Chain A
Amino acid sequence: MLEVSNLEVVYNDVVLVLRGISLEARQGQIVALLGANGAGKTTTARAITGLLDVHEGDITKGAIRFEGEDITHTLPSDRVRKGISQVMEGRRIFAELTVDENLAAGGYVNRDRSLMHTAHDRVMTLFPPLAGRRSQVAGYMSGGEQQMLAIGRALMQTPKLMILDEPSLGLAPLLVQRIADIIVEINRQGTAVLLIEQNAHMALSIANHGYVMENGKMVMDGVAEKLQADEDIQEFYLGLHAGQRKSFREVKHYKRRKRWLS
């Protein structure tokens, strides 16, 4: 469905942020993209949705294909229309607008009224807390509700692929679980999900496939269960220790493994 191949992104013409990454999101799947701060996860999301130019970023190499079509240099609005929606990092809801107006802004590309109604009803059933606050100004809601609104806003575009950038950021553990359940439900209803997360535990618990990024490169990828079982992932992303101290020479062996493809 979404294929990113050998993507290279440069900020301000000098800072090389993505050094030829490749990833794939398949129909009906949840794909997790993991990595520490500054690994290039958000840049990957921006490249896919076409929002690099605001940050003076440029795609210098590689291609992004969606449903077989090359979208590497198309307008963000075209990509939304084609079915790629993004839930931005830090929620970025329109705080001065009401809940309903936020959803209307989300459904901007959707000119079909009946489709808008269906999308709106779907958001209201998925997020009961929003249903009671439809005319409330969004900025006064709690963090969890704002995250729900941000996801609901993206759902108004009836996306085929939803990119979520750090949806668990700054939320209490109970809410993180709730957001995870919602992501699973959205995926079950037929939307592919690319989940960008630092919370690897949550991401891998719901994902089918996972990618790990470091310093602008893909260092590892595999089926979610396999990644969960991987020792390095356990140590560096899941915070699990085998117990005994380790020599630094042994850690992160995958970084030294030469990878020819991707």
Chain B
Amino acid sequence: MTAEVMSGVILGQAEHSQLAGAVVSGLSLGTIYALLAMGFVIIFKATQVVNFAHGALATVGAFITAGVAVELNFPGRFLDVHPLFGWSISVMTALVLSALMGIILERIFLRPMVGEDLFSVAIVTLGMNVILMTIVTDYIGPDPRSMADPWGDAVADLGFVIIAHTEIAQFIVAVALVLLVAAFFRSRTGIAMRATAFDQEAARAQGIKVGAIFAIAWAIGAVLATVGGIFGSVYPRRVGVYSDTALLVFRAFPAIILGGLDSVVGAVIGGLSVGVAEALAGSYLNHPWFGTGFSGIVPYLLMVGVLFIRPYGIFGTEEIRRV
């Protein structure tokens, strides 16, 4: 960190608004939750699988990124380019590998379960989670793997608030991904996916290959999880991939349920609101009465509160049942 930035941080401290700081860090946390929630919701909606291995997907994805960028040093070992450009290529490569991982996992573990009930399939994903986490924990070992991102801990001082370069990158990437997903759902394949989500048999009658749609949904889910995992493993979060990066998804669960489990828009809004709520609580509720780590349970409190008022989540489809 340069001297100017350091002094900026220290001198500017008084003028920085606590609220703006909490909101920015909440939004940055929220985008990670939103990315994880979006992938989870897409998989759930398109394939009717409650994916308890989503945390493992995020961890393995981030681990693959670290592997490509650091261990393999790709593309750095072949060409000497601007670090940001080089790292982008590493990430792209890792994303392709993650998508493949998603497709393979679906094919091996979940395709045989098509038509089984929701709970059996959920148990299969729990098993998948155990397998993936065992393998990846074994590889990571006690030392976290660095993401080797080009930003490090650099920050920008906007006057009223300090924002990390990683957070700026994260906002840009998250917005781009949300727009991409929105555009995807208007495309030929995206419409086919929504049709499949609504009525698999009718979709098959139109000549839609439901298996291919499942594979695409898992690829998208794995890619979004990986991006979430990457941004969850750089400054200002815990730097590096730990074997417990997967816990991020457990904190994203309130976001998923808050949004309504089957709504992509809900996932984004749920993610952001949970992130902001958590950061605001962390920043303001520091009275000793609350103890430490109270912010960690705020997402769950928010979830319970919302479910009291809207049992299907904010954007969830209401299930209408005849009594």
Contacts and interface: CB of A to CB of B under 8 A. Distances in A.
B317 to A, nearest CB: 8
Nearest to B201: A54
Interface in A51-109: 51, 54, 75-77, 79-81, 86, 88, 92-97, 101-102, 104-106, 108-109
A157 interface: yes
A250 B275 CA distance: 78
A130 B115 CA distance: 34
A9 B194 CA distance: 31
A80 B198 CA distance: 20
Interface stretch (B76-84, B90-98, B206-214): B206-214
Q: How large is the interface on A (under 10, 10 to 19, 20 to 34, 35 or more residues)?
A: 20 to 34
A77 B209 contact: yes
A105 B201 contact: no
A49 interface: yes
Q: How large is the interface on B (under 10, 10 to 19, 20 to 34, 35 or more residues)?
A: 10 to 19
A209 interface: no
Interface in B130-147: none
B198 A106 contact: no
B177 to A, nearest CB: 22
A92 B199 contact: yes
Given A104-B188, A108-B188, A51 B195 contact: no
A102 B203 CA distance: 10
A94 B115 CA distance: 20
B202 A92 contact: yes
A97 B195 contact: yes
Given A97-B191, A101-B191, A108 B198 contact: no
A216 B86 CA distance: 66
B201 A51 contact: yes
A80 B207 contact: yes
A81 B191 contact: no
Contacts of B198: 94-97
Q: Interface residues of B: mostly helix, strand, loop or mixed?
A: helix
B111 interface: no
Interface string B191-229: 110110011111111111100000000000000000000
B208 A105 contact: yes
A81 B199 contact: no
B319 to A, nearest CB: 14
B192 A105 contact: yes
Nearest to A76: B204
A224 to B, nearest CB: 27
A104 B202 CA distance: 14
B194 A76 contact: no
Interface string A99-125: 001101110110000000000000000
Contacts of A97: 191, 194-195, 198
A153 interface: yes
B111 to A, nearest CB: 13
B44 to A, nearest CB: 15
A111 to B, nearest CB: 8
B192 A108 contact: yes
Contacts of A94: 194-195, 198-199, 202-203
18 contacts: A51-B204, A51-B205, A75-B209, A80-B205, A80-B206, A92-B202, A92-B205, A93-B202, A94-B198, A96-B194, A97-B194, A102-B195, A104-B191, A105-B203, A105-B208, A108-B192, A108-B207, A157-B207
Given A51-B201, A97-B191, A109-B206, 10 more contacts: A54-B115, A54-B201, A76-B207, A77-B209, A92-B201, A93-B202, A94-B203, A96-B198, A97-B198, A109-B207
Interface of B: 115, 188, 191-192, 194-195, 198-209
9 closest Cβ contacts across the A-B interface?
A80-B207, A109-B207, A105-B195, A92-B202, A77-B207, A94-B198, A94-B195, A104-B191, A76-B204
